[in-house]
Amino acid sequence: MSYLILGIETSCDETSAAVVRDGKQMLSNVVSSQIDVHNAFGGVVPEIASRMHTEIILQVINQALETAETSAGEVEAIAVTQGPGLIGSLMVGISTAKALAFSHGKPLVGVNHLESHIAVAHLENEIDFPFVALIVSGGHTNLYMVRGFLDFELLGSTRDDAAGEAFDKGAKALGLGYPGGVEIDRLSKNGDPDAIRFPRPFNNESPDFSFSGLKTALLNHIRKNPVKSEENLVDVCAGYQEAIVETLIDKTLNAARKNGVEGVVLAGGVACNSRLRQLSEERIRSKGINVFIPSPALCTDNAAMIATLGYHMYADNRVSALDISPYSTARRDQKNHVS
């Protein structure tokens, strides 16, 4: 049996729709980003995000269906991000998905955005279970033990800022644009990562992370040593990025060893970071552990990831009722780790 799943994603500032066959083959993945609009405000403005999703969502869905040469009446099920995310933004995707599901008589599948960041890695690679997955995004830094397509155990998470937040707040302090991770990544390419050594936060055996102290260290550094030249700026960026990236890699490698897995998946927007991609190859693969990182377009928010996880949920009969509501933070049953 071959299933086409329509995925819809509106949790933050990307409006996206995709069609994926059998959780394996991506037939379309349309992403409309609002970044340019939010850039002027230095971060995502929730009310503007919801309005922009409303304006464009039908167009994005139609384009995804057209590119995949199918229609809402022909897909097997409709998967939509249920949370976590901005409630107003999630509401737009969920309401649209409910209307489509009801009018075409299709099952609705409410998908967890974080788990779908991991699931999308299966589109490009055959990955054996179990593996350890690190999700690094604007709002989350989570380490999971993954034992099956629908079996995610949270091992650790950040106690304060997420890695993406550390990039974005650091960039803001340095007067750079939003999203800051992209800017710091670009500038760091010309900098020396060892010129300025920032602290490696929470550098111990715990699978939890903490990035707010690193942000304070950056603020203190630039207060005492104001950035006066491009040469200095690129070194500050490279040093700051190195501290974040090394921490992420050390913790992931630790978790992989402790749990005896042979593979790790890095996912979420921060997994686009070129230094993280490079250093994880060097430091994790050299220990005999396979590293899988989705291509950058599948690391940032997109609906192919929703359709991929949606397929596995649908195949496992995890269909949602038409009265589901969005949730803003990670589900309670995911916070099952002891820190």
Which positions touch Zn ion (CB under 5 A)? 137, 301
Interface map 267-306 toward ligand KG4 (x if CB under 6 A):
-xxx-xx--------------------------xx-----
Whole-number minimum distance, CB 61 to Zn ion, in Å? 19
Whole-number minimum distance, CB 277 to ligand KG4, in Å? 9
Q: Name the helix (H) or strand (E) containing 258.
A: helix 230-258
Which of 83, 93, 170, 179 is the binder for ligand KG4 (CB under 6 A)?
A: 179
Comparing CB distances to Zn ion, the nearer of 18 and 261 is 18
Contacts of 175 (CB under 8 A, 6+ apart): none
What is the side-by-side order of every strand in the sheet holding 4-9? 25-33, 14-21, 4-9, 77-83, 108-112
Comparing CB distances to ligand KG4, the nearer of 21 and 112 is 112
- Binding of ligand KG4 at residue 209 (CB under 6 A)? no
Q: What residues are paired with 78 via a beta bridge?
A: 6, 108
- What is the 3-class SS of 147-171, one letter each residue? EECCEEEEEEEECCCCHHHHHHHHH
Q: Which stretch in 58-66, 88-96, 137-145, 251-259 sits in contact with ligand KG4 by CB under 6 A?
A: 137-145
What does the block give as tokens for 145?
Answer: 């033990």
What does the block give as tokens for 306?
Answer: 């929703």
Which of 88, 93, 180, 191 is the binder for ligand KG4 (CB under 6 A)?
A: 180
Which of 7, 23, 93, 164 is the binder for ligand KG4 (CB under 6 A)?
A: 164
As a whole number of angstroms, the distance between CA 192 and CA 19 comes to 42
- Binding of ligand KG4 at residue 168 (CB under 6 A)? yes
